[in-house]
Amino acid sequence: MLDGHFRKRLDPWLDRAGRGLAARGIGANAVTITGFLLGLAAALAIVLDAFAWGFILVGASRICDGLDGAVARATKKTDFGGFLDIVLDFAFYGLIPFAFILADPYENGLAGGLLLLSFYVNGASFLAFSVMAEKRGLSTDIRGAKSMYFTTGLAEATETIAVFLAFCLFPYWFSEIAVCFALVCFYTALSRIVLARARFKAETKA
């Protein structure tokens, strides 16, 4: 929901930084992998109850996630780069809730499991819609130039990052925040199902 709002303000800064990294010979895939490694470090910090470090590392990881696309735009986009970005993004989104579950299985296990389930369903709705859209030759630039079809929703990257940062700021409220966001993710998946039914059914009739 908020991705478009923040992209308009951040993209000029990211593009400038991306051109600088590209000029130094740093590739987009290297930035993507660095971002994921920072995400791994954030997860480890959370497991060790170092939540302040988790906060910093989650933020640094997602800065890299914005920078990799900027570097790709400054050099050359590749299908593998887009694939790697999506896979490692999904891995990161699973890592952080899992880290909170490991940090306190008794308190966080049920809510964390529900959140991971909602991510699974929401991610499936996103990827399935993208596959069907690609099959029909559909395209959109609503979230900028992407390697695949992006549908908007109530729970997007900005909201997810904000929730992860809130987890680190208020770790003892993890369960409450996780359950609320899981409901938002389920709603987003449902809205994509409704959108897919309307969009693809209409195209079939046409």
Separation of alpha carbons 41 and 35, rounded Å = 10
Distances (CA, A) of 11 to 67, 111, 143: 9, 34, 11
Model confidence, pTM? 0.84
pLDDT tens-digit profile, the chain (206 residues): 554 555 666 677 888 888 888 889 899 999 999 999 999 999 999 999 999 999 999 999 999 998 998 898 888 888 899 899 999 999 999 999 999 999 999 999 999 999 999 999 999 988 888 888 777 766 665 544 555 555 666 677 889 999 999 999 999 999 999 999 999 999 999 988 888 888 777 555 54
Per DSSP, the residues of 141-164 read: -BTBS-SS-----SS-HHHHHHHH
Q: How far apart are CA 102 and CA 116, in angstroms?
A: 13
At 136, list the tokens: 């029909």
